[in-house]
Amino acid sequence: MKRRWNRHPLKISLATLALFGGLAYLLLQVYQPLNQASAQEVEMTAPVVETITLEYQPMRRWSQYSGRLMATAQADIRPLVAGTVQQVLFEDGEQVEEGQLLFVIDPRPYQAELQRARAELASAESAAELARIEFERADGLVSRDVVSRSIRDQRQNDLNTTLARLEAARAAVFAAELNLEYAHVRAPFAGRVGRAEVKPGNVVDAGANAPVLTRLVSTKNLYAEFEVDEATYLSVMRSQRIARQMAAASPESSANGDLVPVEISIVSEGDRREIYSGELYAFDNQLDTRSGTIRARAVINNHDQTLLPGMFAEISLGTAITEPTLLVPEHAISPNQDKRFVYVVGDSGRTEYRELKLGPSINGKRIVLEGLKAGDKVITNGLHRLTNDMPVVVAQS
């Protein structure tokens, strides 16, 4: 009886183990296909996304401002001689060249004055020549004691007097020539004239009571004046310093430390924007402590003579050198209250949320200042379906 009792527990244990082993095998066979199906289902439901791989591009850094255009030269044209206006030789608003004749004031009185002055000059020259001969004769005779020294001194005094009158006559001729020239009013520089404020037949005065005949402004080049923040000022000055160092180290280099590019944008018909190029002319000599800005002035090439002083302009100020820059398409950027972010695809094939610090917009792309690096794969479509740490499938390009 005792031996039979010892065999039964062994049989029961072996049977139990066999039963559990079979159940485990059956469960494994059932759940393995289920797990494979779940993985396939996840892969099939993961959204397909398109990406771009970021690379550094050499670009200038640009900052945008608003400003006004100013004339590089402007003048109120006033008469320098009095008289009757005989001719007005331009159309209102006409483009004129330097030295072009604008007005003619009756020149006849000044021609007569010039003739009188020239006659007096001729008389003075004759008197001076006679006085010189008389002095030389007396000077030669006094050495032989033929005439007294006092007579010689008198002849010398007469010569000096006539020479002084000669200089006065020459000055009178020069003044008369100037007055005759001033009767013909010319443009002091090339530019656009305003309207004529006087008409033929009007009598004009010179001096303090001289009226404005017209106004002239230069238009070939214009100043663009605007206010720059302190950080941009320091960035531009730093880029100029680096460009000068590059030019000094390599004279054959195209770097020019004094060239800081500027572009202005003017809205024309149909909301079409016209771009005019130029360069930074100068910064002011001090910062405005109230606004934290410094006044800047650029020179703009008005190549088609369309721009006018006083116009409003959107101004872009660049750096003197190019810098490695990351650009992200505008449509890949999403808002989050006052923040901006993108999704990138990580090494694990899952999305990663990246908050950005952005710079200006350039041709539908934004400069990335912080938040991304070269090599990041930025998702560009289906952003409304994405969340952080979500599996995605990258479309093959």
pLDDT digits (tens, 9 = 90+) for 279-299: 999 999 999 999 999 999 999
Q: How confident is the model at residue 3 (pLDDT cuts 50, 70, 90)?
A: very low
Q: What percent of the chain has pLDDT over 70?
A: 86
Residue with the bigger pLDDT between 13 and 241: it is 241
Strand duo 334-336 + 351-362: pairing: unpaired
Residue with the bigger pLDDT between 176 and 9: it is 176
Phi/psi for 285 (5° steps) reads -95, 5
310-321: b (≥16 Cβ within 10 Å) or e: eeebbbbbbbbb
pLDDT the model gives residue 150: 84
Q: Is the pLDDT of residue 35 over 70?
A: no
Residue with the bigger pLDDT between 195 and 272: it is 195
pLDDT the model gives residue 27: 53
pLDDT the model gives residue 146: 73
Amino acid at 203: V
Q: Please state which of the ranges 33-37, 204-208, 232-236 shows the lowest mean pLDDT.
A: 33-37
In 3D space, the residue among 335, 110, 386, 73 whose CA is nearest the CA of residue 218 turns out to be 73
Q: Is the pLDDT of residue 16 over 80?
A: no
Q: Is the pLDDT of residue 355 over 60?
A: yes
For 26-54, what is the mean pLDDT?
Answer: 64
Nearest-10 Cα torsion for 142, 148, 153, 159 = -60
Q: What percent of the chain has pLDDT over 90?
A: 59
Helix or strand or coil: residue 13? helix
pLDDT the model gives residue 360: 77
Domains of the chain: 48-59+324-394 (2.40.420.20), 63-71+219-318 (2.40.30.170), 77-103+186-202 (no CATH), 108-182 (1.10.287)
CB-based contact 179:112 (threshold 8 Å): no
Prediction pTM value: 0.66
Q: Is the pLDDT of residue 151 over 90?
A: no
Q: Please state which of the ranges 193-197, 242-246, 310-314, 350-354 shows the lowest mean pLDDT.
A: 242-246
pLDDT the model gives residue 34: 43
pLDDT the model gives residue 223: 96
pLDDT digits (tens, 9 = 90+) for 55-107: 999 888 888 899 999 999 999 999 999 999 999 999 999 999 999 999 999 99
Q: Is the pLDDT of residue 43 over 80?
A: no
Instruction: Report CA torsion sign: 322, 325, 328, 334.
Output: negative
CA pair distance 280, 232, nearest whole angstrom: 13
pLDDT digits (tens, 9 = 90+) for 204-213: 999 888 999 9
CA pair distance 37, 255, nearest whole angstrom: 62
